Structure 1
Amino acid sequence: MGSKRITQETFDDVVQENITEFDMDPEEAVKEAVQQFESQGVDLSTIVKAARKPNSENGQEQKHDILQTLDSLRKSIADSALIELGEHLVCVSEQCREQLAARYLAGQKGAYPVVLSACKLASGDRSVLLKALHALSAIMDGQPDLLDSAGQELLLQTLKKNADDAALTQAGIRCIRHACLKHEQNRQELVKGGILPLLTAAIVQHGDCAGVVREACSVLRVMTLDDDIRVPFGHAHDRAKMIVSENNGLKVLIEAVKAFTDDSSVLSDLCATLARLSVRNEFCQEIVDLGGLNFMVALLADCIDQQELVKQVLSAIWAIAGNDDVKDAIINAGGADLIVLAMSHHLANPQICEQGCAALCMLALRKPENCKVIMEGGGALAALQAMKVHPKEVAVQKQACMLIRNLVSRNRDFSQPILEMGAESLILEARAVHQDCDDLAKAALRDLGCKVEFRELWTGQRGSLAP
C-alpha cells in the first residue's frame, strides 16, 4: 500500500479533468485516476472512488452521495423532522458501512457532530434514537478520534437511561467499542465515567440476549488491550483488575454461560473474555472455584467439532494455567487429554495447534508429574505433528519448541522417546526457517541432549559486540 496521501478534492478534480479534457465516461475516468495515483504510490484506501454527479442546471457543483445525505440530515435536524431524520440516519449508516472511504469522507466533513445532534434530538423517540446510535457507530468505526467529551457523556447517559432496553443497550455498547478500539484516552475517560459497571450490569440484565452479551464481552476485552501506538503505555492491566475485583466480572461471565449452552458464538466470546481477564494468580483460581474450568472441559468434550469455540477454550485454559495449582486441577479434570484430542482433530488449523501447544506448555512448566501425563496422552507427538503440518507458522513452531523443552527439562528420560518421534530434524528446520524461533529451538535441542553451538556474543570485555 502506498504511503502518500491526497485529498478527496484532488482525486475528484483529476476525475473531472479526465471527463472534460479527455472525453472519458465517468467509470473510465475514475479507473484512469485510480491507476494514475496508485502508480505514484498514493494510498487511496480513504478516497471515494466514484465520479460526482454532473453539475445541476443552475451550475451548482454536486457532491458525493454521503455528503448529500449529510446535507439532508442537517436540514431534518434544523426542522426537527423526526420521520425524515430517521430515514436519513439509516442512509448514513448504510453508506458508511459500505466502505471505509465514505466513512472517512463523512468524518472529515463534520458527520460526527451532526449525528451527535441527531442523537440528542431523538432522545425521546426510541425508534429514531436507535437509528441515530447505529449511525454514530458506523461513523466511528475505525475513527475513534471523533469521539469527544460530549459524545462520551451522551453514550454513558444513554446506557444508564435505557438499561432495560436490549436493542438500545446493544447499540450504545457497540458505539463504545468503536470508540475504544486502539484509543487509550477514550478508554481511560470512559472508565472514569463508569462504563465498566454498566457493561457487567448489561450482561446480567440482558443475560438471555446474545447480541448484548457478545457486544459487552467485546468491549470488556478491548478494555484489556494496549493497542494504541500513540501512547508509551496504557492501563490495560489495571482495567482488567477493576473488571474482576470491583465489578465481579468473572462471576458475571461464568453465570452468563448457563443461558447459552447451545450458542457456540456466545460461548466463544465468553471464553475469550475470561482469558483476557486471567491476569493474576488469584483470578485464575477464582475461575476454577466458580466452575469455569468444569465448563471449559465440558465444552472441549462436547463441542470438539466447532473450531472457533475450541480455539477460544484452549486460549482460556492456557491463560488460567499460569497458576500452578490450576495446572494440577486441569490435569486432574482430564484437560491434557482433551487438548491433545482437539489438536489431533483440528491438525490443519494453525491457531488451534498453537493454542494447544501453548496450553500444554503451560501445564508442563515446573510440573514433572504433569509432563508424565502429557507424554502418556500423546502431547509430544501431537506437537511434533503440528510442527510438521505447519512449517511456515512461526507461532506453532515456537510453542511446540517450548513444549518439548518443558517436557524434558526435568524429565530427561523423555528425551529419547521424543527424539525417536523425529523431534531433532523438525526443530532444526524451525530454527533454519524462522529467525524468531532460534533461541527456543536451541534451548529445546540442548535439553533433548542434542549438540548445539552457542555463541558467546559478549564476554564483558571492552569492545564491540560480535556480529
Structure 2
Amino acid sequence: MGSKQIAQETFDDAVQENITEFEMDPEEAVREAVQQFESQGVDLSNIVKAVRQPASENGQRQKHQILLTLDALGRAVADSDLAAVAEQLEVFGEQCKEQLAFRSLAGQHGAYSVVFSACQLASGDRETTLRALSTLCALLDGQPDLLDAAGRDLVLRSLRQGREDAELALAGLRCLRQACLKHEQNRQDFVTGGVLPLLTGAILQHRRHAEVVRAAAAALRVMTFDDDIRVPFGHAHDHAKMIVLENDGLRVLIEAARAFTDNSGVLSELCATLSRLSVRNEFCQEIVDLGGLSLMVSLLADCIDHPEVVRQVLSALRAVAGNDDVKDAIVGAGATDLIVLAVSHHLGNPQICEQGCAALCMLALRKPENCHIIMEGGGALAALQAMKAHPQEVAVQKQACMLIRNLVSRSRDFSQPILEMGAEDLITEARAAHRDCDDVAKAALRDLGCKVELRELWTGQKGGLAQ
C-alpha cells in the first residue's frame, strides 16, 4: 500500500476528467483513476471510489451520498426534529459501517459534531439515544482522533447509566472500544476518568447478559494495548496492574467465564483478556489460586472443536507459564497432552499451531522434567507437523524452532529422536525461507548437534575498509 495521500476532491476531479475528456463510462472512469493513483504509490484507503453526481444547473458541485445524508441529519438536529434525527441516524450509521472511506469523508466534513449534537438532543429518549451511540461507534471506527473531551464524558455517562440498562451499557462499551483502539491518549483519559471500575462493574452487574460481558472484557483488554505508533511508550502495563490490583479484575473475569461455559464467543474474549493481564509473576499465580488454570484446562478439553476458544486458551496458558511455579502447575494438571491434542486436532489452523508451540515452548523453558513429559506426549512431533503444514507462516516456524531448542538444550538425549522425525530439514528450510527465523533456527540446529555455519559479523578489531 502506498504512503502518499490525496484529497477526495483530487480523486473526484480525476474521475470527472476521465468521463468528460476521455469519454469513459462512470465505472471505467473510477477504475482508471484508481489504477492511475495506485501506480503512483498513493494510498486510496480513505478515498470514496464512486462517481459523484453531476453538477447542478447552476454549476454547483454535487456531494457524495454520505455527505448528503450528513446534511439531512444536520438539518434534523437543527430543527430539533427527534423523529427525523432517529431516521437519519439509522441511514448515516449504516453508510458509515460500509467502509472506512465513507466515514473518513464524513469525518472531514464535521460529522462528529453533528452526531454528538444528535446524542445530546436524544438525551431522555432511550431508543434514539441507543441509535445515536451506535452511529457514534460506527463513525469512530478507525478514526478515534475525532473523540473530544465532551464525547468522552458522554461515553462515561452512558456507562454509568448503563448499570441498570444492559443495552445502554453495551452501546457505551462499543463506543469506548472504538475510541481506544490505536489511541493511547484516549485510553489514558478514560482511565483517569474512572472507566476501569465501570468495566469490571458492567461484568458483575450484567453477568447474565453475554454481549455486555463480552464487550466489557474486550474494552478491558484494549486498555492494556500498546498499539499507538505515535507515542514512544504507553501505559499498558500500568493499566493492567490497575485492573488487577484496584478492580479485582482476575476474579471478575474468571467468575464470568464459569457462568458462560457454553458460550464460545464470551469465553474467547475472557481468556484473551486474562492473557493480557498476566504481566507479573504474582498475577500468574493468582490466576491459578482463583481456579483459572483448572478452568482453562477444562475449556481446552470441552471446547476442542471451537478453534477461537482453543486459540485464546492456549494464549492464556502461554502467558501464565511465564511464572516458573505455574509451569509446574500447568504440567501437573495434564495440560501438555491437551495442548498437543489441540495442535494435532487443528493442524490446519496456523494461529492454533503457533500458540500451541509457544505454550509448550514456555513450559519447556528451564524445566528438563517438563521436557520429558512433553516429549512423551508427542509435543516435538506435533511441532514438526505444524512446521510441515505451514511452511510460509513465520510465526509457526519460529515458535516450533524455539520449542525444539528448549526441549534439547538441557536434555541432549532427545536430539537423536527429534532428528529422526525430520527436524533438521524442516528447520533448515525455515531458516532459508524466513529471515526472522535465522537466529532461533541456528540455535535449534546447534543444540540438536547439527553442523551450523556461524558467521562472525565483527571481531572488535580495527581493519581496513574495502574501497
What's the TM-score, normalizing by structure 1? 0.96
Residue in structure 1 matched with residue 439 of structure 2 by the alignment:
439
* Partner deviation per Cα, 1:46-70 (whole Å, 9 max, x = no partner): 1112222234456544221111111
* Partner deviation per Cα, 1:138-164 (whole Å, 9 max, x = no partner): 111000111111111111122112321
Residue 12 (structure 2) pairs with residue 12 (structure 1): yes
SS, match of residue 315 in structure 2: helix
Give the AA of the match of 1:439.
D
Q: What is the alpha-carbon distance in structure 1 between the residues aligned to residue 437 and residue 29 of structure 2?
A: 49
SS, match of residue 273 in structure 1: helix
Residue 83 (structure 2) pairs with residue 83 (structure 1): yes
Residue in structure 1 matched with residue 417 of structure 2 by the alignment:
417
Q: What is the alpha-carbon distance in structure 2 between the residues aligned to residue 411 and residue 99 of structure 1?
A: 54
Is the alpha carbon distance of 1:31 and 1:417 closer, same or farther for their aligned partners in structure 2, counting shifts above 3 Å? closer
Give the AA of the match of 1:151.
G
SS, match of residue 119 in structure 1: helix
Is the alpha carbon distance of 1:465 and 1:188 closer, same or farther for their aligned partners in structure 2, counting shifts above 3 Å? farther
* Partner deviation per Cα, 1:234-281 (whole Å, 9 max, x = no partner): 111111111111111111111111221111111111111111111111
Q: What is the alpha-carbon distance in structure 1 between the residues aligned to residue 280 and residue 424 of structure 2?
A: 36
SS, match of residue 460 in structure 2: coil
Give the AA of the match of 2:351.
Q
Residue 106 (structure 2) pairs with residue 106 (structure 1): yes
**Shift of residue 410 of structure 1?**
1.6
* Partner deviation per Cα, 1:146-184 (whole Å, 9 max, x = no partner): 111111111112211232111111111111111111111
CA contact (8 A) 2:161 2:169 kept: no
Aligned-residue identity in percent: 76
Is the alpha carbon distance of 1:304 and 1:109 closer, same or farther for their aligned partners in structure 2, counting shifts above 3 Å? same
SS, match of residue 450 in structure 2: coil
Give the AA of the match of 2:169.
T
**Shift of residue 371 of structure 1?**
0.9
CA contact (8 A) 2:251 2:290 kept: yes
**Shift of residue 300 of structure 1?**
1.1
CA contact (8 A) 1:347 1:386 kept: yes
Q: What is the alpha-carbon distance in structure 2 between the residues aligned to residue 440 and residue 18 of structure 1?
A: 53
* Partner deviation per Cα, 1:164-220 (whole Å, 9 max, x = no partner): 111111111111111111111111111101111111111111111221112111111
SS, match of residue 164 in structure 1: coil
Aligned ranges 1:161-180 → 2 under 5 Å:
161-180=161-180
CA contact (8 A) 2:161 2:168 kept: no
Residue 142 (structure 2) pairs with residue 142 (structure 1): yes
**Shift of residue 17 of structure 1?**
3.5
Q: What is the alpha-carbon distance in structure 1 between the residues aligned to residue 434 and residue 38 of structure 2?
A: 33
Q: What is the alpha-carbon distance in structure 2 between the residues aligned to residue 143 and residue 171 of structure 1?
A: 18
Give the AA of the match of 1:199.
L
- State the number of aligned residues: 466
Range that drifts further, 158-167 or 225-234 = 158-167
Range that drifts further, 304-313 or 454-463 = 454-463
Range that drifts further, 93-102 or 55-64 = 55-64
Give the AA of the match of 2:261.
T
SS, match of residue 258 in structure 1: helix
CA contact (8 A) 1:66 1:106 kept: yes
CA contact (8 A) 2:318 2:362 kept: yes
Residue in structure 2 matched with residue 354 of structure 1 by the alignment:
354
Is the alpha carbon distance of 1:34 and 1:432 closer, same or farther for their aligned partners in structure 2, counting shifts above 3 Å? closer
Is the alpha carbon distance of 1:441 and 1:17 closer, same or farther for their aligned partners in structure 2, counting shifts above 3 Å? closer
Q: What is the alpha-carbon distance in structure 1 between the residues aligned to residue 271 and residue 464 of structure 2?
A: 49
Residue in structure 2 matched with residue 222 of structure 1 by the alignment:
222
Residue 247 (structure 2) pairs with residue 250 (structure 1): no
Aligned ranges 1:42-121 → 2 under 5 Å:
42-56=42-56, 60-121=60-121
Residue in structure 1 matched with residue 2 of structure 2 by the alignment:
2
Q: What is the alpha-carbon distance in structure 1 between the residues aligned to residue 184 and residue 294 of structure 2?
A: 35
**Shift of residue 22 of structure 1?**
4.6
Residue in structure 2 matched with residue 321 of structure 1 by the alignment:
321
Residue in structure 2 matched with residue 189 of structure 1 by the alignment:
189
**Shift of residue 366 of structure 1?**
1.2
Residue in structure 2 matched with residue 459 of structure 1 by the alignment:
459
SS, match of residue 325 in structure 2: helix
| Structure 2 residues without counterparts, runs of 5 or longer | none
Aligned ranges 1:369-388 → 2 under 5 Å:
369-388=369-388
Is the alpha carbon distance of 1:403 and 1:19 closer, same or farther for their aligned partners in structure 2, counting shifts above 3 Å? closer
Q: What is the alpha-carbon distance in structure 1 between the residues aligned to residue 395 and residue 256 of structure 2?
A: 32
Give the AA of the match of 1:239.
H
Q: What is the alpha-carbon distance in structure 2 between the residues aligned to residue 232 and residue 333 of structure 1?
A: 40
CA contact (8 A) 1:12 1:52 kept: yes
Range that drifts further, 23-32 or 416-425 = 23-32
CA contact (8 A) 1:457 1:465 kept: no
Question: What's the RMSD between the two structures over aligned residues?
Answer: 1.8
Give the AA of the match of 1:348.
G
Aligned ranges 1:198-237 → 2 under 5 Å:
198-237=198-237
**Shift of residue 444 of structure 1?**
1.4
SS, match of residue 95 in structure 2: helix
**Shift of residue 25 of structure 1?**
4.3
Q: What is the alpha-carbon distance in structure 1 between the residues aligned to residue 181 and residue 373 of structure 2?
A: 41
CA contact (8 A) 1:18 1:29 kept: yes
**Shift of residue 344 of structure 1?**
1.0
Q: What is the alpha-carbon distance in structure 2 between the residues aligned to residue 167 and residue 461 of structure 1?
A: 69
CA contact (8 A) 1:347 1:389 kept: yes
CA contact (8 A) 1:458 1:465 kept: no
| Structure 1 residues without counterparts, runs of 5 or longer | none
**Shift of residue 36 of structure 1?**
3.4
What's the TM-score, normalizing by structure 2? 0.96
